[in-house]
Amino acid sequence: MSDETQELGITESKQHSPGEWYAEVVRKAGLADYAPMGGFIVTRPRGYALWEGLQDHLDGWFKETGVQNAYFPVLIPES
């Protein structure tokens, strides 16, 4: 996005549309963006670094409580 076309500021209302507000904040902060095909988002390096930091910070706390990590499939076949 060039500087000329970049939107400044957040236009969505946090109070009235928190989901839309959050999506706009994440996109404008360069943390993630929509993928070319519908229904997918791409986590950008800065966003992934934040995720790794949160995951690392919380992992020890979770394990102290006996919680085990798990991953679930992102794509589930229709069959």
Each residue of 3-55: pLDDT tens digit? 455 566 888 888 888 889 988 899 999 999 999 988 888 999 999 999 999 99
Tokens of 79: 């069959």
Residues pairing with 43 in the sheet: 32
What is the pLDDT at residue 5? 57
Residue that the structure tokens 């990590």 belong to: 69
Residue 70 pLDDT greater than 80, yes or no: yes
Q: What single-letter amino acid sits at 36? A: P
Residue 48 main-chain phi, psi, to 5 deg: -70, -35
Per-residue confidence at 1, pLDDT binned at 50, 70, 90? very low
Quick one: average pLDDT of 59-79? 84
- What is the three-class DSSP state of 70? coil
Q: Report the C-alpha gap between 10 and 55 in whole angstroms.
A: 27
> Which single residue is written with the structure tokens 């394990």?
63
pTM of the model: 0.65
